[in-house]
Amino acid sequence: MSPIMEFRNVNFAHSTRAIFEDLSLSVTESETVALIGPNGVGKTTLLRLAAGLLRPSSGEIRVAGRALSDWNRRELSCCVALVPQYLQVPFAFRVEEIVAQGRVPYSGFFGGLGSDDLEVVRSAMEAVDILHMRHRVFAELSGGERQRVKIAIGLAQQPKLMLLDEPTQHLDLGRQIELMALLKKLVGRGITIVAAVHDLALARENCSSAILLTPGAPAIKGSVKEVLHPELLERAFSVDQPDLERYLAAEPPARNITPGPEQIDESLVSLRKKREQEHRERLRHPGDDARCRGTARDVRHGRGWDRD
């Protein structure tokens, strides 16, 4: 298996603060890699470096066996898709129009979409199950739906490598599980996944390997089991071992009051079913729902996108 993404002795600094010093790591094809580490350690920066949006001050980054400096910008966008953490869209763009932007690197100077492009856009929307909402206005979608639209843009780029920045952030449990299942499906299509995640349990369940970034120490790459080792995590996140062990414990402490693992699984399943039921209801009455969500969002975000 050849490496799809490789960092060789990469140095990178934001103005004066060094983020990476002599960073070396490699990701092989069709891996699912969890990128973990404390806040501010440079997870997003690493993804942006790999996507060619930032240039390392020294060292070399290779994608599909070729140094990034040798890639044409558009060709690179056809090979590597970055799914950023946030997507907020001014104007009433529809889901379909948003996903179609994934074809931009394939289009010529005047940038029209051919019938094959439309087919790719369609199948990308199908893959993440948003085909039924393709005519809805993006700004009115819920968090989980937006997340899926973002992944559909990435899919429309037909990449070999997809870099996701905290794809499960702000999603409820059900949506998180759905999203990870979706990512697994993508790996089945031959796409290598590197995803920055905070939820270690989710990473352990769904990823084949992990990269751990520790402030002031070299990055560690290995299987999930190796990397999610309490000692390593303790150092990276600067937490006490007992806290960590409790967090990482495979089963919750057996007490009479707390439900056993089977019960949890069961309640999860029923919760999931209930959510799906609600979702179907929502689809049947889109009007009511849009109104409710609109007000809730207003309260949460205040002035909305223009503040960004």
At its nearest, how many Å lie between other proteins and the CB of residue 130? 16
Query: Is the Cβ of residue 59 or residue 84 nearer to other proteins in the bound state?
Result: 84
Is the Cβ–Cβ distance between 55 and 3 less than 8 Å? no
At its nearest, how many Å lie between other proteins and the CB of residue 63? 13
At its nearest, how many Å lie between other proteins and the CB of residue 4? 17
At its nearest, how many Å lie between other proteins and the CB of residue 94? 7
Token pair 């074809």 is found at: 103
Question: Which residues make beta-bridge pairs with 212?
Answer: 36, 220
At its nearest, how many Å lie between other proteins and the CB of residue 259? 40
At its nearest, how many Å lie between other proteins and the CB of residue 38? 22
How large is the greatest C-alpha to C-alpha distance in the chain, in angstroms?
67
Query: Is the Cβ of residue 136 or residue 235 nearer to other proteins in the bound state?
Result: 136
Helix then strand then coil, in percent of the chain rounded to 5, is 50, 20, 30
Q: What are the b/e assignments for 135-159, b being 16+ CB within 10 Å?
A: ebbbbbbbebbbbbbbbbbbbbbbb
At its nearest, how many Å lie between other proteins and the CB of residue 93? 5
Query: Is the Cβ of residue 88 or residue 267 nearer to other proteins in the bound state?
Result: 88
At its nearest, how many Å lie between other proteins and the CB of residue 16? 17
Query: Is the Cβ of residue 92 or residue 283 nearer to other proteins in the bound state?
Result: 92
Query: Is the Cβ of residue 265 or residue 298 nearer to other proteins in the bound state?
Result: 298
Q: Any long-range contacts for 235-243 (C-beta under 8 Å, 24+ apart)?
A: 236/36, 236/37, 236/38, 236/41, 236/212, 237/38, 238/38
User: Checking DSSP bridges between strand 58-63 and strand 32-36, what pairing results, if any?
Assistant: unpaired
> C-alpha distances in angstroms, 225 versus 206, 210, 253?
12, 9, 21
**Any idea how long the chain is?**
308
By the criterion CB under 8 A, which residues form the site for other proteins?
48, 51, 53, 73-74, 76-78, 81-82, 84, 86-94, 97-98, 101-102, 104-105, 107, 109-111, 139-140, 153, 157, 294, 297-298, 301, 303-308
Closest Cα to residue 168, out of 190, 187, 183? 183
Query: Is the Cβ of residue 251 or residue 308 nearer to other proteins in the bound state?
Result: 308
Query: Is the Cβ of residue 150 or residue 221 nearer to other proteins in the bound state?
Result: 150
Query: Is the Cβ of residue 48 or residue 272 nearer to other proteins in the bound state?
Result: 48
Which residues neighbour 173 within 8 Å (Cβ) at sequence distance 6 or greater? Answer: 268, 271
3-state secondary structure 4-36: EEEEEEEEEEECCEEEEEEEEEEEECCCEEEEE
